[in-house]
Amino acid sequence: MKRKIIITLSLVISLLVIVYAQNPNRLKESGFNNAFTLPPETPYEQYVELMSKVIAAARLETDNKEAIVAMNSPFIYKPAEKPVNNIYSKGILLIHGLSDSPYFLQAIGKYFASKGFLVYGLLLPGHGTVPGDLLKVTYDEWIKATHYGMLQLKKKAKEVYMGGFSTGATLSVNYVLSNTNHDVKGLFLFAPAFAIYSNLAWLAPIVGTFKDWESIEDDVDYTKYQSFTFNGATQTYRLTKKIDSYFEEGKTISVPVFVVQSIDDQTVKTERTLYVMKNYVTGKKMFVLYTTQPEKDYDGEGNFVVTVNSFIPKEKILNFPHICVTMPPDDPHYGRNGDYRNCLYYKQGSPERNKCLTDSNIWKGETTAENIEKYKVVARLTYNPYFDGMCQKMTEFLQSIK
């Protein structure tokens, strides 16, 4: 069996290099990464190695190639404690969001490893290579990858947990709701996509039948696609509807659930997350909610919401967007002094985008209508100033569910 897996991996790598060499455009499929095709018995270490080679073959960058491949690849973090008979006491599978990469959960993964977890970071099909790989991928392939990750984690960890960012959080919830014998001990959800923010999300499947791209950018952000396909939005929308159908059937989430999200999130609906937490989560729960109105009562008698003030004028931060919650302030790419600034709200080449990219005194936050009306040009905040505080709350939650 081991020899068969090695031969399969070798053939896949060779095929990918040949196919991609004939099709170098980032807006076209690489020819490999739109489905999860690995045998389920493939060890996770081999999966990580294979996908790293796939990403290296597919990426168009020539500078800092090794670092970029590492950022986009699935990962394994091991705790300081040694396993007993090659089994760790606990493990967690972390799943990134739509158009993102495992990099969005590396800092979270290192936190869990420091708490004694074996950490597996998953790469969803269609991601980490080129934006064109999201043209035809389906959420069923993401579910296959999720099941593979959990199958492998259960072989190495006595207790298993799941965590995810945005669409990855929704995949974690889907795993629990669709598997009655899941054995998951807890969920850690970061800006979960229970509902897409736009009221026109239902149109994505229709528009996507005759138009491939919602937006095309230069894709200079090397850990996240900036060019965005309608199909990607369609698949996330269909996944949220699948979750809704489970709730309509009367299913609930009985395992402990920890959530972090901003009330000003303009990508997914935080109000829907609050509703899900109130009505469909029956186990122990905690919701760290970033808001400019920390005194507001968001959960009534539930007492599971911990509000944190997201208006930080001394740092010129107006509020928190969807994309910032999993990134520490010292992150070299997205952090306070990182090498990337998110100005995609404004058109390429426009004076507004140029100002956003170059003005060191610009305000940061979510691109809400109120922020744009008042400040005209706002950079989208890409890091969480309260990352350490969030980790402390996760530690408290872990202690409470032991």
- Write the pLDDT tens digit of every residue in 168-201: 999 999 999 998 888 999 999 999 999 998 876 7
Q: Tell me if 245 is assigned to some domain.
A: yes
Q: Tell me if 181 is assigned to some domain.
A: yes
Q: Tell me if 8 is assigned to some domain.
A: yes
Burial class (CB in 10 A: 0-12, 13-18, 19+), 357: middle
d(CA 262, CA 239): 21
Q: Tell me if 304 is assigned to some domain.
A: no
Q: Tell me if 315 is assigned to some domain.
A: no
What residue ranges of the chain have pLDDT lower than 50?
Answer: 2, 4-24
CA dihedral for 94, 99, 104, 106, sign (positive or negative): positive
Full-model pTM: 0.92
d(CA 185, CA 44): 21
Q: Tell me if 212 is assigned to some domain.
A: yes
Confidence at residue 204, expressed as pLDDT on a 0 to 100 scale: 79
Q: Tell me if 267 is assigned to some domain.
A: no
DSSP string over 252-289: -B-S-EEEEEETT-SSB-HHHHHHHHHHTB-S-EEEEE
Q: Tell me if 320 is assigned to some domain.
A: no
| Overall domain count for the chain | 1
Contact 170, 243 (CB under 8 A): yes
d(CA 9, CA 49): 10
Q: 19 lies in which domain range? A: 2-255
- Which has the closest alpha carbon to 367: 358, 378, 376, 359? 378
Reduce the DSSP state of residue 112 to 3 states and report it: helix
- Which has the closest alpha carbon to 51: 67, 65, 32? 32
The CA–CA distances, whole Å, from 286 to 133, 196, 299, 400 equal 36, 22, 11, 10
- Write the pLDDT tens digit of every residue in 80-94: 999 999 999 999 999
Reduce the DSSP state of residue 249 to 3 states and report it: coil
Task: Report the amino acid identity of residue 152.
Answer: Q
Q: Angle at which helices 230-248 and 167-178 pack, to 10 degrees?
A: 30
Burial class (CB in 10 A: 0-12, 13-18, 19+), 88: buried
Confidence at residue 8, expressed as pLDDT on a 0 to 100 scale: 47
Q: What is the CATH number of the domain that holds 222?
A: 3.40.50.1820
- Write the pLDDT tens digit of every residue in 329-377: 999 999 999 999 999 999 999 999 999 999 989 999 999 999 999 999 9
d(CA 321, CA 69): 26
Confidence at residue 60, expressed as pLDDT on a 0 to 100 scale: 84
- Which has the closest alpha carbon to 74: 43, 107, 52? 52
Confidence at residue 1, expressed as pLDDT on a 0 to 100 scale: 52
Contact 32, 122 (CB under 8 A): no
d(CA 168, CA 40): 20
